[in-house]
Amino acid sequence: MTASILDGNALAATVRAEIAQGASALIAQGVTPCLAVLLVGDNPASAVYVRNKVAACEKAGVRSLKFEYASDVAAETVFDKIAELNADPSVHGILVQLPLPKHFDENKVLEAISPAKDVDGFHAENFGLLLQGRKSFYPCTPWGVMKMLESANVPLKGAEAVVIGRSNIVGKPMAVMLLSQGATVTVCHSQTKDLAFHTRRADIVVAAVGKPKFLTGDMIKPGAVVIDVGINRLQDGPDAGKLCGDVDFDSAKEVASLITPVPGGVGPMTITMLLANTLESARRAAA
């Protein structure tokens, strides 16, 4: 079997067009959706992500504000900026790009953001609401994955789903979202004893481990849906410098029924759902 490709670029374009329409309708009512992005330090990958987020805002008619700080900035400076943005009614979303330099307590920074403007969905209040199945801002990457599964009509009720990775950003919220849609969810991680035992039983596998080409075809049940959240840059070999996911695409596509590529899979959907959350926040503010 050769898997069909679940094209994140195509789905992102469709959803972003809807968001742009929503943004222009809101602008006509006098409210311009606005996202503030804070970038601290000189992590090159973070700089690229932030640049892409700002560019996506511009294309969708969402105003963006970018604040950049040196890695040795006083934490107070960043907290003061967050407080100012929290109080500014023209700002609907606040995003602090992670990771932060070591002298920051990330949880403290994330919790300084007003839950009403937490478009990343990382604040403990929003995370708790998600866990309880209540309205919150959903973290963008797992929400993007859910949209992709929905767009491909992947059945979730009663499906065996395996999430590899237990991060607060992807693995944990991913598991909760799949669970809320009726999947039977197993969360695997670096301490899992026999990973392949779990993945070979899965109708849906979501790989979010940060290890290039980690999930290989022999670990996948024939006909499974494979979602690759990884974005890794290959260090050596003939493909050095190229992006690849956590899934060994070439072997996995021979076993899976549906698979997301890297690049062009989950990545574009993450930014799309950030725009969706920002628009939703602006709508709530306008209501």
Active-site residue among 81, 117, 120, 147? 120
* Chosen residue from 98, 116, 195, 196 binding ligand GUN by CB under 6 A: 98
Active-site residue among 81, 97, 172, 253? 97
Three-class secondary structure assignment of the chain = CCCEECCHHHHHHHHHHHHHHHHHHHHHCCCCCEEEEEEECCCHHHHHHHHHHHHHHHHHCCEEEEEEECCCCCHHHHHHHHHHHHHCCCCCEEEECCCCCCCCCHHHHHHHCCHHHCCCCCCHHHHHHHHCCCCCCCCHHHHHHHHHHHHCCCCCCCCEEEEECCCCCCHHHHHHHHHHCCCEEEEECCCCCCHHHHHCCCCEEEECCCCCCCECHHHCCCCCEEEECCCEECCCCCCCCCEECCECHHHHCCCCCEECCCCCCHHHHHHHHHHHHHHHHHHHHHC
Nearest to ligand GUN of 141, 278 (CB atom)? 141
Binding-site residue numbers are: 165-167, 231
**Shortest distance in whole angstroms from residue 113 CB to ligand GUN:** 10
**Shortest distance in whole angstroms from residue 99 CB to ligand GUN:** 7
Stretch that binds ligand GUN, among 96-104, 127-135, 206-214, 243-251 (CB under 6 A): 96-104
Residue 218 is among the residues annotated as catalytic for this protein = no
Residue 120 is among the residues annotated as catalytic for this protein = yes
97 binds ligand GUN (CB under 6 A): yes
**Shortest distance in whole angstroms from residue 246 CB to ligand GUN:** 14
* Chosen residue from 61, 117, 120, 176 binding ligand GUN by CB under 6 A: 120
Nearest to ligand GUN of 64, 97 (CB atom)? 97
So which residues are the catalytic ones? Answer: 53, 97, 120
